[in-house]
Structure 1
Amino acid sequence: MPTDSDTFCDSELACAKINLALHVRRRLPDGYHDIETIFAFLDCGDVISVGTGQAITLLIDGPFSDGLSNSNNLILDAAHLLASHANVEAGARLHLEKCLPVASGIGGGSADAAATLRLLNRFWETGLSLEALAQLSEPLGADIPACVLNQTCRGEGIGQDLVPLENGALEGHYALLANPLVPVSTAIVFQDWDGVDRGALQDGDLMDAAIAGRNDLQKPAGNLAPIIADILSELGKTEPVMARMSGSGATCFGLYETEQLALAAREDIAAILPDIWTMVGGLK
């Protein structure tokens, strides 16, 4: 934990990401997959802080910090990438408060790297736009550009061809995240996808497209973590606007019209599945 003598002059929220829909269309020769997805972001997640330092360093704590490396981490990769791109010679003392489960399909490390880029862009006064930061981040990971933009958007290609969207009917909704604390490998889940193209995301109203959509990774993730089906079943009983698995799992979400409904659903889920992790947040 940072001590009282530690001073951090700025911080950035690494917002939890959910995929309202995720359609896998085909496998690509390079091992990636052609997808269509709707990214949405919550107003809660991990927190990255920065202070002055002679070198770029990272300290990690928080409820999900165990096992994370402070020397081999996407946060440091993002920091060094920006420093190299902008010819920054200054250091940065970075701190991660890890509040989101690892390997859980809600952004996690991608959101941390993205928040680091936004934070250091201010701290080092490099003056890059969000769009430029998103483009710079592409080599770091498929989800990172969307996490840099940090707003509802449609993603195609490997998820990096982005079109920002107005929230429309999503405005004011809250999400309940529920994770069984079983890490699920993104690579294995994609590998186990059955290869069947079940069609494109529909155009038009964002909420209608999300509800009519699906997550093509839900079945292979459920084969690795059968409790996903139990979580989705219990979420369905709370009468959400929609319930689905996010990303490659194992986090599932229910979407609700008010915070009160989301919090009530959280109590219901916790009573039935007391060992799972939950978080409630508003859609940004």
Structure 2
Amino acid sequence: MLYVKAPAKINLTLDVLYKRPDGYHEVEMVMTTVDLADRVGLKIRNDGQILIHSSSNFVPDDQRNLAYQAAKLLQDTYSVQKGVSITIDKQIPVAAGLAGGSSDAAATLKGLNTLWNLNLSIDKLAELGAKIGSDVSFCVYGGTAIARGRGEKIEHIATPPSCWVVLAKPTIGVSTAAVYGGLNIEEVKHPNTLQMRQAIEDKDYTLLCSTIGNVLESVTLKLHPEVAVIKEQMSRFGADAVLMSGSGPTVFGLVQNKARVSRIVNGLRGFCDEVYAVRLLGERDILA
């Protein structure tokens, strides 16, 4: 059995520039990995089947699963006769705006590259990942990057200044399609991607905190007022900066003072079942 770590990501910025002719939105976002990860186990099968086992009942175990799609894509593209049993130990909340499914798919691509002796480059795996979902390319590399296009055009940047990240996910589901559908690009306040890049390169934590922004918040907060409540509480309990990740509903707070972390976590547990305190990872996979 080969095990691959599949870390979650957060968006320090998420900007939507325009709707493309192909129906997708052109995005520009700064993403970074955090130390909350699923564990993906891969075991070769000789019958050609792809089987999924997950520790979460909310994760599909068929072709809807992105890890399944990753294995199938490699099988079909490279005429692989072998199969695989994929075990997903879920630690990342499901449908949370943290790219859990995309990270599982990325881990599957990397693991099967080894297990099936495909000898593909990390760039090739990221290119394949783009066919599965818009966050998969980033998850193949990990680290910190500006993602453009649908999210598949990746520009690696420096590692952000070290800090704690408190994540809180309310018990609601958010439809990404509905959020994008409700977005009025003309009316939103666009985050400053270049300033965020500068803050990260200069390791300027204060500037980083004042530059975070996510245009999808305006829609999700209207659809789900409980997300706004968590944001307010996280700020009140002392987070340095608070933002929704992806299309939500997870909210994260950045905190440099460790003593404040437990106060924020304990305070949020009254509003939210799923609360995590993790470190910002921000560094690329050593394979990458």
**Pairing partner for 2:183 from 169, 172, 193:** 193
Question: What is the distance in 1 between the residues matched to 2:49 and 2:210?
Answer: 43
**Pairing partner for 1:49 from 38, 41, 64:** 41
The aligned residue for residue 245 of structure 2 is 246
- How far off is 1:104 after superposition? 1.2
- How far off is 1:165 after superposition? 1.2
1:175 and 2:141 matched: no
CA contact (8 A) 1:255 1:262 kept: no
Question: What is the distance in 1 between the residues matched to 2:15 and 2:118?
Answer: 36
- How far off is 1:260 after superposition? 4.9
- Pairs within 5 Å for 1:130-279: 130-167=122-159, 170-196=160-186, 198-199=189-190, 200-203=192-195, 204-206=198-200, 207=205, 208=207, 211-257=210-256, 260-270=259-269, 272-273=270-271, 275-279=272-276
- How far off is 1:111 after superposition? 1.2
User: How many residues of Structure 1 are paired with residues of Structure 2 in the alignment?
Assistant: 271
The aligned residue for residue 285 of structure 2 is none
Question: What is the distance in 2 between the residues matched to 1:171 and 1:24?
Answer: 25
**Pairing partner for 2:54 from 51, 61, 65:** 61
Task: Describe the SS at the equivalent of 1:278.
Answer: strand
Give the TM-score normalised by structure 1.
Answer: 0.88
- How far off is 1:278 after superposition? 1.3
The aligned residue for residue 284 of structure 2 is none
**Pairing partner for 1:10 from 2, 14, 17:** 2
Q: Which residue type is aligned with residue 276 of structure 1?
A: D
- How far off is 1:27 after superposition? 1.3
Kindly tell me: are residues 278 and 29 of structure 1, through their superposed partners in 2, closer, same or farther at Cα, counting changes over 3 Å? same
Which sits farther off after the overlay, 235-244 or 64-73?
Answer: 64-73
| Structure 1 residues 34-70: Cα deviation after superposition (integer angstroms, max 9, x where no partner) | 11111111122222101121233333332x3236233
Which sits farther off after the overlay, 212-221 or 86-95?
Answer: 86-95
Kindly tell me: are residues 264 and 161 of structure 1, through their superposed partners in 2, closer, same or farther at Cα, counting changes over 3 Å? same
CA contact (8 A) 2:36 2:92 kept: no
Identity of aligned residues (%): 29
Question: What is the distance in 1 between the residues matched to 2:273 and 2:84?
Answer: 35
Question: What is the distance in 1 between the residues matched to 2:126 and 2:147?
Answer: 13
Aligned CA RMSD, in angstroms, stands at 1.9
- How far off is 1:266 after superposition? 0.9
- How far off is 1:97 after superposition? 1.6
Unaligned runs of 5+ in 1: 1-8
**Pairing partner for 1:283 from 275, 280, 285:** 280
1:85 and 2:84 matched: no
The aligned residue for residue 30 of structure 1 is 22
Give the TM-score normalised by structure 2.
Answer: 0.87
Q: Which residue type is aligned with residue 179 of structure 2?
A: V
| Structure 1 residues 244-271: Cα deviation after superposition (integer angstroms, max 9, x where no partner) | 000000000011225554333211211x
- How far off is 1:156 after superposition? 1.5
1:120 and 2:105 matched: no
Q: Which residue type is aligned with residue 75 of structure 1?
A: A
Unaligned runs of 5+ in 2: 282-288
